[in-house]
A and B are shown apart, each in its own frame.
Chain A
Amino acid sequence: MTSKPTVLDLEKYIDQEVSVKFQGGREVRGILKGFDPLVNVVLDECVETLRDPNDAYRLTDKTRRLGLVVCRGLQVSLVCPNEGLQEIENPFGQQPQI
C-alpha cells in the first residue's frame, strides 16, 4: 500500500533541532524524535521560551527546560527546522502604536 506524499514531511527533520509555535503564543524548540499525521510532535531536550507575563505574544530572553515532551497537534501552528533560520531586522521599522 502506497500512501500519498504529504506536505508535512517531517521525516527529514528527525534528530534535528526544530522550533514549534502554538496557537495562543507559546513557543518551544527541541530535537524532533517523532510525529504522527495529526502533527502531534515528540521533542527531546525541549526548551520553552517564556513570554512577557503581561503580553502573551511577546517573547522574553528567559527560557525553561522541559526535557522530553509531546506537543499536541491540535494546537501546533508551525514547525520549522532551526538550521538555516535567521532573524532579520523588522522590515517595517517602528511598529505603529495601536
Chain B
Amino acid sequence: MAGRLLPLELVDRCIGSRIWVIMKGDKEVVGTLRGFDEYVNMVLDDVTEYTVTAAGREKNQLDQILLNGNNVCIMVPGGDPEASSSSSSSSS
C-alpha cells in the first residue's frame, strides 16, 4: 500500500515551477523544472548552482541543464536556499 501523497506525483505537480534540489555532496541546484524521468534525472531552466564549502557559498548561473538524478537527496518545490535561513536552536 502506498502512502497518501505519492512523492513522484508531487514532483510532477512541480513541473513549470521553481524547484530546489539538494544533492548528496555539497552541491545544490535551483531552477524551473521542465520535466523528469523514472530515475528523476531532471531538465531545469534558468539554473543557479550552489557549491557550499567551509569558505562560503559559490554560485554559478546556467541556461538549461539535464541534472543527473543519481546523487539527488532532497527536492524542495518552490524552495530557495537564499530564503531559507538557518538557526542554531535545535530544541523543538
A28 CA to B74 CA, complexed, in Å: 10
Asked if residues A11 and B3 are in contact (CB atoms below 8 Å), the reply is: yes
Known A53-B54, A65-B84; contact A33-B4, beta-carbon cutoff 8 A = yes
A residues near B78, Cβ cutoff 8 Å? 67
Question: How far, in Å, is B88 (CB) from chain A's closest CB?
Answer: 5
Asked if residues B88 and A36 are in contact (CB atoms below 8 Å), the reply is: no
Question: How far, in Å, is B21 (CB) from chain A's closest CB?
Answer: 9
* Number of residues of chain B lying within 8 A (CB) of chain A: 37
* Number of residues of chain A lying within 8 A (CB) of chain B: 42
A residues near B59, Cβ cutoff 8 Å? none
Q: Decide if A85 is an interface residue (CB 8 Å cutoff).
A: no
Q: Which residue of B lies closest to A68 (CB)?
A: B77
Asked if residues B71 and A36 are in contact (CB atoms below 8 Å), the reply is: no
Asked if residues A33 and B5 are in contact (CB atoms below 8 Å), the reply is: yes
Known A50-B86, A61-B88; contact A75-B72, beta-carbon cutoff 8 A = yes
Identify 23 residue pairs between A and B in the complex whose beta-carbon atoms are under 8 Å apart, listed by A's number. A14-B4, A22-B24, A24-B73, A28-B74, A32-B3, A33-B5, A34-B2, A36-B8, A40-B7, A40-B8, A42-B5, A42-B10, A53-B52, A61-B90, A63-B88, A64-B86, A64-B87, A65-B84, A67-B76, A70-B8, A71-B73, A72-B72, A74-B70
